[in-house]
Amino acid sequence: MQVNTPIQNKIRYNISLLVCFSLFVNLQQAWAQNGLPDWVNKTGSRSVPTLTKVYKVNQYGAVNDGATLCTAAIQKAIDACSKAGGGIVSFDTGSYVTGSLFVKEGVQLRIDKGVVLLGSQNFDDYPEIDTRIAGIEMKWPAALINVINQKKVSVTGEGTVNARGKFCWDKYWAMRKDYEAKGLRWIVDYDAKRVRTLLVQSSSDVTLKGVTFKNAGFWTVQILYSDHVTADGLIVRNNGDGKGPSTDGIDIDSSSWILVQNCDIDCNDDDFCLKAGRDWDGLRVNRPTEWVVIRKCIARKGGGLLTLGSETSGGIRHVVATGLVGMGTGNGLHIKSATTRGGLIDDIRFDNIRLDSVGTAFQFTMNWNPSYSYSTLPAGYDEKTVPAHWKTMLHPVEPAEKGIPHFQGVTVSNIHATGVKKVINAAGLKDSYLKNFSFNNVLINGAAAGDVAFADGWKFTHVLIQSADGQPLRVTNSTNMQLKQ
């Protein structure tokens, strides 16, 4: 028997990397020539505001001194513009303090270079509205910028929206310390009522383009119950003035025909995230996120380059994510749910991706973060007298089987990853296997290959996983697996 020397092993290792990289390049080119599904071209806004009359907020009393509260003056300009049939609402160069603004039909809210909107740090400047947050419908503060029940709206420009969210972060951390001591970790995120930066809700044909968003109090951009929305060239920077909790980049929530492209996100939670409702309330609403394209984007810090869940009740399907780069994110592709969520994840395409120094390249779990995901009322509380949203969270899913999520039809292709801590961490359930996951043309160098459990019908084609610990991918309780590298 021939025993290879360390030098020979290193040569074999380098040759295998070169061969796999050659395959990666060749197959990447072949895939690009094959094109994308036809439905991809139907995503995004179908129309934008076209009238060009300019309504300067300064003419309605807004002051660009970075100190005066200008909410009412800016809203007057928006209202006048929309009432006249539409046009452009713009700002003289400078900084404007504002609470919640409501952009209306036909309006292009243009935040030009040199203009900074500063979020008010007074919760009273964000009136509560009917909305959905983290998967349940409830009263919650309006966002800093809102597009609600509107159509043909744009928010554009090269300026900055600095939400100055530390007042929300401080409130949350103080509450969380108190709530965890009482066994209420599952509800503190909902009671804290932190302010989102931009909300598109129940609207159509909305374009968000070019704006830089900083220091979100909670989620940065949420697209909720909407269709035909484009987010193009948005920049999110939520790690500059302190790492605020749950400062997601872009959340697409029970919405359809959405196009996200050319965005650059650095946040402290999920970078690009798709959601569809939580537990009993999400199953009641039963509205999917579907027909979504995310392309040519960068994620820097954050929980995941692309995350599906944990709110999955209405289902997430028909998703193409392509031409993405993840640098230092927690996960590459993360699909997460819980045993009370339910919902079907299907037809997900994660292609042409580069990952650098991410935590886990592929993270799939159906029992995510139990201390947050499952609601139990501690002794001493009367369920009849708790707030309405507590009751919503405590409402059981019946029958229990309805809460079991299902993940299937996931295609991962043309992936090049280096500096990964773990390549795959995948765990289905005894009652719900991870079905029909296909990995094609994947080259990954990481510390550990990882684990797969309760999976069925997985297939590797031209996959090379190089693990520093020398251990192979560990597969348990799985069937019909074709994982030869």
Q: Which residues of the chain have pLDDT under 70?
A: 1-34, 242
Find tokens 């025909």 and name the residue: 257
Please report, for the chain, the start and end positions of each structural domain, with discontinuous segments joined by +: 21-43+127-358+367-403
CA distance 83 to 99: 21
Tell me which residue of 429, 292, 405, 407 sits closest to 346, measured CA to CA.
Answer: 407
Question: In sequence order, what DSSP letters do the residues of 285-306 get, joined into one string?
Answer: H---EEEEEEES-EE-SSSEEE
Q: What is the pLDDT of residue 11?
A: 38
Give the tens place of pLDDT for each residue, 397-455. Answer: 999 999 999 999 999 999 999 999 999 999 999 999 999 999 999 999 999 999 999 99
Q: What is the pLDDT of residue 19?
A: 41
Q: What are phi and psi of 132, to 5 degrees?
A: -130, 135
CA distance 192 to 389: 12
Q: What is the pLDDT of residue 484?
A: 84
Answer whether 352's CB lies under 8 Å from 28's CB: yes
| Those residues with Cβ within 8 angstroms of residue 349's Cβ, 6 or more apart along the chain or in another chain | 319, 320, 321, 322, 411, 413
Tell me which residue of 283, 267, 388, 302 sits closest to 341, measured CA to CA.
Answer: 283
Q: What is the pLDDT of residue 485?
A: 72
CA distance 478 to 485: 17
CA distance 61 to 38: 48
Q: What is the pLDDT of residue 154?
A: 98
Structure tokens at 468: 């520093």
Q: What is the pLDDT of residue 286?
A: 98
Residue type, 79: D
pTM: predicted TM-score of the whole model, two decimal places: 0.93
Percent of the chain with pLDDT over 70: 93
Answer whether 340's CB lies under 8 Å from 366's CB: no
Q: What is the pLDDT of residue 471?
A: 96
* Residues found in the chain: 485
Q: Please return the burial class of 174, using the count of CB atoms within 10 Å of its CB with bins 0-12, 13-18 and 19+.
A: exposed
Q: What is the pLDDT of residue 2?
A: 37
CA distance 440 to 460: 6
Q: What is the pLDDT of residue 35?
A: 72
- What's the Cα-to-Cα distance from 255 to each of 265, 289, 302, 346, rounded to whole Å? 21, 5, 23, 15
Span 21-43+127-358+367-403 CATH architecture: 3 Solenoid (2.160)
